[in-house]
Chains A and B, each alone.
Chain A
Amino acid sequence: MTPLVAATIPDVVTFALCAAVVLSGGVGVVTSRNAVHAALSLVATLFGIAVLFIEQHAYFLAAVQVVVYAGAIVVLFLFVIMFLGVDRREDVEREPLKGQRPLALVFVAVSLGGVLALAAASNWVTGARKVAGSRTAGGHTDTYLLGKSIFTTYLWAFEITAALLVIAVVGAVVLARRPPSVHDAGEDPGTQGERR
């Protein structure tokens, strides 16, 4: 309802706090030696971003951010970490790929430069230099607007993404099923052919 460009003092304070949470979470993800601590830092980052969404009056996105990312994806990360016991310390001195550290620095510099350049001339993606005013001012909630655009304008992209996710899940199941070992197959010839 209030135009977004006219930031009030609470807006600024909220933004500063969230930015601090998001940044410290991001640093924590990279620097934590313990995988579980890294995952928790990721949750802090996602939570901060959710609050930033609320600050932008994108309530539905904020809820989805927490439900999907913090509530499902990171929980699955943690689940794998705990279940498979990969929360041990790894040897960080040896590089699996030769020269990956200098290359990582180069890539970081390139992508950071790219983001900054895009931010400086931000009409590349949206065609608008800045987004002023709330889309929700027309008497519709953000949920309504989001649903409408997803199920009309961007329906194709939405369905394709859904199909992609289903393919990924089926692929994961296929990969996770162990092929029958030799003596199992020998013991029970009836299942030999059907399994593949």
Chain B
Amino acid sequence: MTHASSGTMTAAAGTAARDMVRTLTTHGDPLFAHGVGWFVWVVVLVKVLVAFGVLLVAVMLMIWFERKLISDMQSRIGPNRAGPWGLLQTLADGTKLFFKEDLLPAQADRFVFRLAPYLSLVPALLIFTVVPVGGTVDLGGHRFELQVADPTIGILVVLVMSSIAVYGVMLAGWSSGSKYPLLGSVRASAQMISYEAALGITTVTVVLVTGSLSTRAIVQSQASAFWDWNVLRLGIVPFVLFLTAITAELTRPPFDLTEAEQELVGGFHTEYSSIRFALFFLAEFMNVITMSGVVVTLFFGGPDGPVPHLPSFDIWFPTLWFLAKVFVFLFLYVWLRAALPRLRYDQLMNLGWKYLIPLSLGWLLAVAGFLVDGWWGAGIIVGALVVTGLLVRAFSVGRLRTERQPLLEPVGARADRRALTVVSAAGPGADLATGLPEGPGSGEAGG
């Protein structure tokens, strides 16, 4: 265990950063490099408790922030009664929800109905554990990182947890034993599975240039300067794809078909009340915060940024950078919700399968090619353009055919069309009603 001392705190360019990446890749969290003593236990415990507390408070503030900001964008005042500027509104709402009656629908599957909120909440909490919120700290002969855990599979934990989070939504809808929640959860699960693919592929693009799965290594490899941030280093496209996919994965507007109020009452959580309902909301907003943290980690260098050369600034100043970057994305999510209308379901699926997945796959191949050498990269780009041309042609052919004979027609459309055919064949004056429901052969017979 000849760990560390290779990387510097703010990681200057070049080999130091690469050494750090290698060390992290093979050894994992430096905290456990010298075995597990009481000091390590204390550090881990403090990290977990602080992360938990900060997340809960952050969710409270985030809900307030969203309501207030949306109110501003819609020329309203928003919550302004509880506490200064309505800051304590969420606390008041939470207390109210806590004391409300906890209803259990008669048709519900009791065990699964109770389990589902926790399946949403626990992944949301666990994703935050791998997000690096600051630099590294040396204390009492130990070096530890300002993040709850730094497993060697790092970023995969995010994918694992987001794939578990599907269950919360899905089972909540199913176990309610009611129609609207079921429809909402079927939509949600289809949507989440579809966008997980694009999410995974863009993540792989980042992993490819880093050479490691560890989130700390991903952050360290972007640390030298801002043009080394993955958002610029990979071209802007993977970042845009990732942001789109993650917004859909979170079922945030404009991808919030799972709780389209006009169609589904409230979506998967229609039958929930009291504290379980609050847990779903907690999970949703916590996901917004943690996923903003993940975006910052993957594409914006995490806690990286210029640090003033003053004593002890290098310990806490990177955390400020991290918080500032996360805040930008929190604002962006609220902004999106205020500005964009909800997509239609087929638009959602088209975007996911026909645009995001091919584009992310092509970009991944191009990045891989350029990592080998320039000619490979150029060749792959040419190949990708040819394939794109073929795909566009295939789509247009498919669309023409679908327009001629839609696979999915609105209810009643076919009957109407047949009636029209009959009417036009029989000439003016024929009764519409006689041609309608007679069965397949009658149309031609009548004509």
| B404 near A183: Cβ-Cβ < 8 Å | no
Per-residue CB contact flags for chain B residues 82-118 toward chain A (1 = under 8 Å, else 0) read 0000000000000000000000000001011000000
Tally of A-B Cβ pairs under 8 angstroms: 90
B397 — nearest CB in chain A belongs to which residue?
Answer: A194
- Which chain B positions have C-beta within 8 A of A186? 444
- Which chain A positions have C-beta within 8 A of B186? 79, 82-83
Which of B189-197, B239-247, B315-323, B426-434 faces chain A?
B189-197
A67 CB contact (under 8 Å) in B156, B189, B440:
B156
Q: Give the complex CA separation of A187 and B421 in angstroms.
A: 9
Q: Give the complex CA separation of A72 and B199 in angstroms.
A: 14
| A36 near B156: Cβ-Cβ < 8 Å | no
Q: Give the complex CA separation of A83 and B185 in angstroms.
A: 10
Interface size class of A (residues with CB under 8 A): 20 to 34
A47 — nearest CB in chain B belongs to which residue?
Answer: B164
Does A153 sit within 8 A of B, measured CB to CB?
Answer: no
A191 CB contact (under 8 Å) in B213, B404, B443, B444:
B404
| A183 near B441: Cβ-Cβ < 8 Å | yes
Q: Give the complex CA separation of A75 and B193 in angstroms.
A: 8
B190 CB contact (under 8 Å) in A34, A79, A141, A194:
A79
A184 — nearest CB in chain B belongs to which residue?
Answer: B405
- Which chain A positions have C-beta within 8 A of B401? 191, 194
Q: Give the complex CA separation of A66 and B161 in angstroms.
A: 9
Majority SS of interface residues in chain A?
helix
Q: Give the complex CA separation of A177 and B109 in angstroms.
A: 34
Does B167 sit within 8 A of A, measured CB to CB?
Answer: yes
- Which chain B positions have C-beta within 8 A of A60? 153, 156, 213
Q: Give the complex CA separation of A55 and B174 in angstroms.
A: 34
| B189 near A34: Cβ-Cβ < 8 Å | no
| A75 near B112: Cβ-Cβ < 8 Å | no
Interchain nearest-CB distance for A45 vs B (Å): 14
Majority SS of interface residues in chain B?
helix
- Which chain A positions have C-beta within 8 A of B405? 184, 188, 191
Knowing A63-B159, A141-B152, the reply to whether A43 touches B167 (Cβ < 8 A) is yes
| A36 near B109: Cβ-Cβ < 8 Å | yes
| A67 near B163: Cβ-Cβ < 8 Å | yes
Per-residue CB contact flags for chain A residues 117-138 toward chain B (1 = under 8 Å, else 0) read 0000000000000000000000
| A71 near B164: Cβ-Cβ < 8 Å | yes
Q: Give the complex CA separation of A83 and B174 in angstroms.
A: 10
Does B224 sit within 8 A of A, measured CB to CB?
Answer: no
- Which chain B positions have C-beta within 8 A of A67? 156, 159-160, 163, 200
Does A86 sit within 8 A of B, measured CB to CB?
Answer: no
- Which chain A positions have C-beta within 8 A of B440? 181-183
| A75 near B189: Cβ-Cβ < 8 Å | yes
Would you give 6 A-B contacts (Cβ < 8 Å), ordered by A?
A72-B163, A79-B170, A83-B186, A141-B213, A183-B440, A184-B405
**A43-B167, A79-B189, A183-B440 given; 12 more Cβ-contact pairs under 8 Å:** A63-B156, A67-B156, A67-B200, A70-B164, A71-B166, A72-B193, A72-B196, A78-B171, A82-B182, A143-B152, A143-B153, A190-B404
Chain B residues near A (Cβ < 8 Å): 25-26, 109, 111-112, 151-153, 156-157, 159-160, 163-164, 166-167, 170-171, 173-174, 182, 185-186, 189-190, 193, 196, 200, 213, 401, 404-405, 418, 421, 440-441, 443-444
Top 7 nearest A-B pairs by Cβ distance? A71-B163, A183-B440, A63-B156, A59-B153, A66-B160, A63-B153, A191-B405
